[in-house]
Structure 1
């Protein structure tokens, strides 16, 4: 049956269009401001540039050390993503497919953590990291973010795994497969859509993570891109080179934007993955 657009539908579409403009307009404004000169910026922040100064991006790359910060970010995000996704997959499997005494109690503790603000863990985490001599270290940051399980990712992937038929595991065990063999050869391949969705969300979370790198990294040579741009913003009170800063902001945003452009369908599907599959 064909659905005819009503007046209410038109209102909702108009509201969504206006909402989209509030997101896209600031991005477009930053782009064209990043191509202006500083005198043009201070004369009229709304005017279009008379000449496109692509050199602002080269200046930002060299002035703010974006190359080094990007390498640090790739190392931090890449290793944390692989290790963290594997651990999340393993934890979700153990809590949804493996029967053991105390599983319900563990799930209760996990659900209880949803009501505890994450900011409360900062002090004990920092004390522990300090005692283990893992502060001011990208590797220490990787350990913290990889082993610090997210309840959201666990519930998302756990809901997906619960929909898989148990007969496949039983058949594999009859054929002599070990517990890890069942996980690696049966569960992981069947859970690939859920794992990919979790990995995308983890990437966006890690790449945009500012608080942990800001707290634990003190050496400028170890800054991630988020912390690096924060310190670049602080320099503006001395240099007022805003067009170069905006160019740096665009460079810093590009990986997240490209990730969303290429995987937007997976990101949207992932928001309801656990509910649909669970």
Structure 2
């Protein structure tokens, strides 16, 4: 069906703000990648232009002299442990809240939802002293636990909406066949909530990978620095050493995994969020 001139103008008018917003978001990222291949002289002489030659020395300097490689490994450890621990805690909890009806189950679910409204900044000082008492301060494992617990309410909220749509008849049939409640949870319910699990895992992974403030508070030694703290250190150094190319290279190293992860799972994220919204 052909569109009228008015409909075409309306569609074009809607796309203009979206196009402007897209350019406003993508251009700084593009400029950052260009800067990562420039020397300091090129950055000062022509900050908005293309580099004369694509120089990879900035990446080498960031990886060796500023130990970005160690920080990347630390971020991978913290992100992986946090995401896995969050799922291990959230899946049984969401299943119990949705399927196991007990006195106070609705209150418990409301409590988890209410926890999403509480700013995490209010817990930083108590968590600092708690980790100090548990000898987990300046520990990647301690930071991963904090990350997992910080995203637990959101993860439970999303997974509960997925579990609520699974027919109870499947679980009843499995129970009649002699399957234990844990078997039902991990062999029937969990595979049927794959879209929700992938969605929350990717969102939590991006959140943990980019997190800065809690890492700044709970980590103290440079060998334990995550990627966000290492980039902050390079940023402070760049003001005095003019290592702007190295800073841009560090930012590129930090953002590339996120772009790749989102590009691979973009359809799954959109599908999971759409299904969760409809099912919820």
- TM interval, short-chain normalised: over 0.9
> Structure 1 runs of 4+ off > 6 angstroms?
1-4
For structure 2, list consecutive stretches of 5 or more residues without a partner in the other structure. Answer: none
Q: Is the 8 A contact 2:195 2:272 kept in 1?
A: no
Within 5 Å, give how 1:118-137 maps onto structure 2: 118-137=120-139
Match in the other structure for 2:161: 159
Match in the other structure for 2:58: 56
Within 5 Å, give how 1:166-205 maps onto structure 2: 166-205=168-207
Deviations 1:147-194 (A, max 9, x none): 344322221111111111011111111222222111011101111111
Whole-angstrom CA distance in 1 between matches of 2:2 and 2:200: 35
Match in the other structure for 2:247: 245
Match in the other structure for 1:257: 259
Whole-angstrom CA distance in 2 between matches of 1:148 and 1:116: 10
Within 5 Å, give how 1:18-33 maps onto structure 2: 18-33=20-35
Report the alpha carbon displacement of residue 273 of structure 1 after superposing the two structures with TM. Answer: 3.1
Whole-angstrom CA distance in 2 between matches of 1:182 and 1:8: 52
- TM-score with structure 1 setting the length: 0.94
TM-aligned CA distance change 1:272 to 1:152, over 3 Å: farther
Whole-angstrom CA distance in 1 between matches of 2:126 and 2:30: 42
Match in the other structure for 1:94: 96
RMSD of the TM alignment (CA)? 1.7
TM-aligned CA distance change 1:161 to 1:28, over 3 Å: same
- TM-score with structure 2 setting the length: 0.93
Whole-angstrom CA distance in 2 between matches of 1:81 and 1:16: 33
Q: Is the 8 A contact 1:156 1:273 kept in 2?
A: no
Match in the other structure for 1:235: 237
TM-aligned CA distance change 1:201 to 1:240, over 3 Å: same
Q: 1:13 aligns with which of 12, 15, 21?
A: 15
Match in the other structure for 1:105: 107
Q: Is the 8 A contact 2:86 2:152 kept in 1?
A: no
Report the alpha carbon displacement of residue 140 of structure 1 after superposing the two structures with TM. Answer: 1.1
Whole-angstrom CA distance in 2 between matches of 1:259 and 1:20: 20
Match in the other structure for 2:141: 139
TM-aligned CA distance change 1:169 to 1:2, over 3 Å: farther
Q: Is the 8 A contact 1:155 1:274 kept in 2?
A: no
Report the alpha carbon displacement of residue 251 of structure 1 after superposing the two structures with TM. Answer: 0.9
Whole-angstrom CA distance in 2 between matches of 1:229 and 1:38: 18
Deviations 1:115-161 (A, max 9, x none): 32221111211121111111000111122222344322221111111
Report the alpha carbon displacement of residue 3 of structure 1 after superposing the two structures with TM. Answer: 6.7
SS class of match (2:116): helix
